Amino acid sequence: VFKTLGTDVVKSAFEDLSKHLVQNYGDVEELMDAGNINRTTAATGMNDVSSRSHAIFTIKFTQAKFDSEMPSETVSKIHLVDLAGSERADATGATGVRLKEGGNINKSLVTLGNVISALADLSQDATNPLVKKKQVFVPYRDSVLTWLLKDSLGGNSKTIMIASSVVRDPAFLPLG
């Protein structure tokens, strides 16, 4: 399943969402390539080819066990997420649609940070029996991104985050 979250999160959160049955890695690779081709990109004042949307590629594994007494099914999901970068509006020179896209991107990234912080607070409370349990609200519904990833961020899941950052501002580049 591939989806980009871009310009109007409320109106088009699941526009062009699709499901595909795959048989091998080649099928997966073709779908990822098609998704990348369809991904929204545009030039900004900071980047010639800037991602204007997050990309989410979900692989769902279903394992059926046919037992004469009790058939069962185990379902696992892997979300491969490529987050659009956060850019300051004044640095990009964005206006109109590009400014709105940037605002939506930044809002979803801030919400992701808030969700992770809330989950960390819950985790700390759970590991220390001396701490009185407090009510911690996890704001999954504050963005489409976190709502879509809810089952992978909290509960019975394992989450791995890999970050890649490219700094283009000369003030942050090494001397020499």
Question: Which of the four pLDDT bands, split at 50, 70 and 90, describes residue 114?
Answer: very high
3-state secondary structure at position 78 = strand
Question: Which of the four pLDDT bands, split at 50, 70 and 90, describes residue 14?
Answer: low
Question: Which of the four pLDDT bands, split at 50, 70 and 90, describes residue 159?
Answer: confident
- With 0-12 / 13-18 / 19 or more C-beta atoms within 10 angstroms meaning exposed / middle / buried, residue 169 is exposed
CATH number at residue 56: 3.40.850.10
Non-local (6+) Cβ contacts of 145 within 8 A are 5, 54, 56, 81, 83, 108, 111, 112
Whole-structure pTM value: 0.67
Which amino acid is residue 89, in one-letter code? A
The residue count of the chain comes to 176
The verdict on residue 104 lying in a domain is: yes
Number of domains in the chain: 1
- Per-residue pLDDT for 13 more than 90? no
Residue from 60, 53, 13 nearest 36 by CA: 53
- Per-residue pLDDT for 31 more than 80? yes
HEC secondary structure over 138-170: CCHHHCHHHHHCHHHHCCCCCCCCCCCCCCCCH
Other Cβ atoms less than 10 A from the Cβ of 115: the count is 22
The verdict on residue 157 lying in a domain is: yes
Q: Check residue 90 and give its pLDDT.
A: 64
Q: Check residue 143 and give its pLDDT.
A: 87
The verdict on residue 169 lying in a domain is: no
For the chain, percent of residues with pLDDT exceeding 70: 64
Other Cβ atoms less than 10 A from the Cβ of 151: the count is 12
The verdict on residue 175 lying in a domain is: no
- Per-residue pLDDT for 127 more than 60? yes
Q: pLDDT tens digit string along 85-96?
A: 666 656 666 667
- With 0-12 / 13-18 / 19 or more C-beta atoms within 10 angstroms meaning exposed / middle / buried, residue 148 is buried
The verdict on residue 68 lying in a domain is: yes
Q: pLDDT tens digit string along 100-110?
A: 777 777 888 88
Q: Which domain holds residue 41?
A: 2-164
- Per-residue pLDDT for 6 more than 50? no
The verdict on residue 171 lying in a domain is: no
The verdict on residue 38 lying in a domain is: yes
- Tokens encoding 84: 């659009």
The verdict on residue 122 lying in a domain is: yes
- Per-residue pLDDT for 73 more than 60? yes
Instruction: Give one word for 159, left, alpha or beta, with left for phi > 0 and alpha for psi -120 to 50.
Output: beta
